[in-house]
Structure 1
């Protein structure tokens, strides 16, 4: 059996190998972030992030990330006449909004704890056998939004920075007993980041590269083409 490779196939393959490095396009990404330290809910804070400098290149996509954090303490007191399993949820709703107040992202971090508490011991102290105080409870939740439509980029391109708003609302609660007292200290914080992915602008035309600096792949491709224009390669 004979395996034959035509001259045309080899020429196409050789020139593809030569041109591949020339046609490759490399995308770059630049990332900025800002944060709001933990503080008691409910609050609304303003943050700023740098706009994309269009002199760097052509913007391909914009990624927003919101990492919301909830932290605090829970006090529980079972006042039922029998033992109960109590669940406490330390929770916050953290929203990221544009300057026009339209919603961009929402993070819902929740830290849950479960405790079995005896029947009410007669002391409303969030301790003893029927109560408990839990501190240093925390959790985070990360959300993201990805934009690739050019019209959506407009507010984020140019000089200077743009504004966003972070709102944090406390949603902590407890369940598990018909007669239950619960107290919460709910703090919230957020880290907001924007990532710009872009293609760099074309570099100025350079002077002709000396022959000694031509990539080896060019010589290999040309040599293969020249040899096989005169003959076929056969494998018996």
Structure 2
């Protein structure tokens, strides 16, 4: 009898301790106490490293004040060599009369680039020149096989949209809106006649001198002719009287 009672007391104590432990575990979970072991924590860090985006490469020059037929030196950095060779791609977007539509032209400017610079000669060739067009240059990788599965693709340089202007016509300093004076015009306010005016004046003077000399020669010849004629008449008259 005593052994049976001791066995029942032992079982009752065990049940009481188990109920206390279960209540303690429930209260810890209700307070949001969550502890990661070493293995789940390392796995989480490794996953974050795989899914984190790579370092963004950028162009180092600006894209403002560009003119047609000029050269643009492109330079960039921060691209891993395993993504070489590179392709330089350009696009121009030109809005049409319809606000919801636009004409888009794309071209590869260069392929197989290994370095960190390239010169775009005679912009925007081979793209068409559009005065109202918006241009953009970007670098693409040709090494698709080097991108491992599950890793983020590299962030390659891409320029903002920019416009290309025609070469401005030369204007006189001081007043950009004033028209250039014609070199053939005689500006009275300049204080000095133009070359054409001087040549014209010299031509007129030479012509007048030639005409005056010709007139004087004709006048002298006429006087000599009349004098000789009168002398001959006198001689004939004297001959008649003597006979």
Same fold (TM over 0.5): no
Q: TM-score range by the shorter chain?
A: 0.3 to 0.5
TM-score (norm 2): 0.33
Greater percentage in helix: 2
TM-score (norm 1): 0.34
Greater percentage in strand: 1
